């Protein structure tokens, strides 16, 4: 059972890291400050990252 969770955890961590790097490198983000998007991405995995990519990421 643990072996089945390891890939899922790795994907979740990779997604959070991707979102945090994207927030850090973005010149500007929409609706909230960068630090708020970073907190949302870390606290609410994976929903926070999805919301950031849909709403917060500049087009």
* pLDDT tens by residue, 6-52: 999 999 999 999 999 999 999 999 999 999 999 999 999 999 999 99
Residue 2 lies in a domain: no
Q: Residue 21 has which token pair? A: 């790097």
Count of domains observed in the chain? 1
**Tokens found for residue 43:** 């606290």
pLDDT at 58 over 90: no
Please indicate, yes or no, if residue 7 is contained in any of the structural domains.
no
Dihedral sign from CA coordinates of 25, 29, 35, 40: negative
Nearest CA among 34, 15, 47 for reference residue 56: 34
* Residue 6, in any domain of the structure: no
Give the per-residue pLDDT at 36: 97
């Amino acid at each position: 059972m643990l072996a089945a969770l390891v890939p899922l955890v790795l994907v979740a961590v990779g997604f959070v890291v991707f979102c945090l790097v994207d927030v850090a490198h973005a010149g500007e983000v929409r609706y909230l400050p960068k630090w708020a998007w970073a907190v949302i991405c870390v606290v609410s995995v994976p929903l926070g990252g999805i919301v950031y990519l849909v709403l917060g990421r500049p087009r």
